[in-house]
Amino acid sequence: MGGRFCPAKALRSVRAICSANAAASIRQNAHISSYLPFTPLNAAGCARRCWSSGREASSAADSCAQVDTARDKVVSIGHRFVKDSTPEKLLELTSTYWRKLRYFKPLLLTCNVDKAIECRVADAVLASGAVFQSAADIPQLSELMAQRKDSHGFVGCYINVDSADSLLESRKEIYETLDSGCNAIMVDLNLRNAIPAQDLVRIDEMLFAIKPHIIRFVGNTAYFAAAVASDNEAGYSAGGDKEGQPDSDIARLNRCKVISERYNAVVIDNDLHAVVMNASDHEGAVFSRSPDILKKVHGGFRKYAPFYLVQGFEVSAGGIIATMIAVSSSKPMFAAIAAIVGIHYSAIKCVDMCNGPGSLGVTFVDMMHRISTSPDSLLQHDAPIQFFKLVDLASQDD
């Protein structure tokens, strides 16, 4: 069994071992594998560690086993979230942000929004005071930005992505032109619970090239966070706080932190209720849950049923968040919070006023217009939000 160490053979062996190990983990630990998937990002990490230390390929089984069982492993994470006080005059600042939206009238460029709900998104964005224009793909979006390059107005960009989109095949050079063509970029990720490994890699490369200000997950962040987490973060991002609850607010903040640090962006987990995290500012915020009837607003379409559902209301809300950030790109965290506060306020009022999803959609557009023209109405809202501060345990010990 002697001989020289061959990296190529080692990598093939590692892949085989990891695949077998992941399959066994899925059968034996279904509750763990749902939060910590086997991905090429983790497998490649195992291979690099094995090769760099010059060990035999079989020793990588231990590394991969550690990845699969990171949920049960004690990991020194070095930080924790503590509740923070609500910023002074939060609602006054929020109303100011909404007033700026109608005053500056930013242009929102959307890309890859389904035609069935595009008109509803346009209605909501126009009602909030912005201007709307859509692009079918990334090259057309880049062309629209080039046309607006010499203008002095604010330009926001909203890109809707799922793991099967052809736009993920776009060249990196086109992605990189978007950053200089607008004031702010928001990427909405609609991901299934079982994303093909190659799609994970393509989404990862796309986010690095685009450099978005905001990344929002319409679904749960657990799968994606576990895929991009480093070794020290693996158990942390897999899901669960000290009580082991994968859907707790702290667990979701932890996963958003992992993603926020990787892409240097504000991350929104919009699965159960909105969770906003900006790792660079060590700040997080958790909203209360919106009424379930909102999921029926503006219709939607279904792909890969039953895993994946795109809702028109979510896309409309995403477009409004993107326009708000375009006007206040230097403070994307608070701009996103201000937008969500207004959307939440409108949603609550709409539910009280309407009897069904049909009239709810129309009333929501009316509420967007009312808030942007009379933002002081937000001062009456009991903002359902809890702020958190990220505390470094090492500095705390000092």
CATH number at residue 287: 3.40.1190.20
pLDDT at 293: 66
pLDDT at 361: 77
- Is residue 1 in a domain? no
Same domain assignment for residues 163 and 301? yes
Could you tell me the two tokens for 76?
Answer: 């020194």
Could you tell me the two tokens for 106?
Answer: 């930013």
Same domain assignment for residues 23 and 89? no
Sequential DSSP letters for 69-94: TGGGS-----EEEEEEPPPTTHHHHH
Same domain assignment for residues 290 and 312? yes
Q: Cα separation of 338 and 371, whole Å?
A: 12
Whole-model pTM? 0.76
pLDDT at 73: 32
Could you tell me the two tokens for 5?
Answer: 């160490």
Same domain assignment for residues 118 and 39? no
pLDDT at 155: 92
Provide CB contacts within 8 A for 64, sequence distance 6+: 14, 17, 18, 21, 22, 42, 43, 46
- Is residue 79 in a domain? no
**Residue 56 lies in domain:** 7-72
Same domain assignment for residues 102 and 58? no
Of 296, 318, 319, nearest in space to 309 by CA: 296
Same domain assignment for residues 151 and 57? no
What's the total number of domains in the chain? 2
Same domain assignment for residues 111 and 220? yes
The residue from 17, 50, 72 where one domain ends is 72
Q: Does residue 293 sit in helix, strand or coil?
A: helix
Q: Cα separation of 349 and 45, whole Å?
A: 49
Task: Compute mean pLDDT per 10 residues along the chain, 398 residues long, and list them.
Answer: 43 41 37 36 40 36 38 49 87 91 92 86 92 89 82 88 72 78 90 77 89 88 81 52 62 92 94 88 89 59 38 85 93 94 86 74 87 87 85 65
Phi, psi of 153 (to 5 degrees): -85, 170
Give the helix ranges, DSSP H, for 69-191.
Answer: 90-104, 115-127, 138-147, 172-178
Same domain assignment for residues 347 and 307? yes
Same domain assignment for residues 140 and 57? no
Burial letters for 318-357: b for 16+ Cβ neighbours within 10 Å, e otherwise?
bbbbbbbbbbbbebbbbbbbbbbbbbbbbbbbbbeebeee
Residues linked to residue 83 through DSSP beta bridges, in sequence order: 388
pLDDT at 98: 93
pLDDT at 245: 56
Same domain assignment for residues 221 and 354? yes
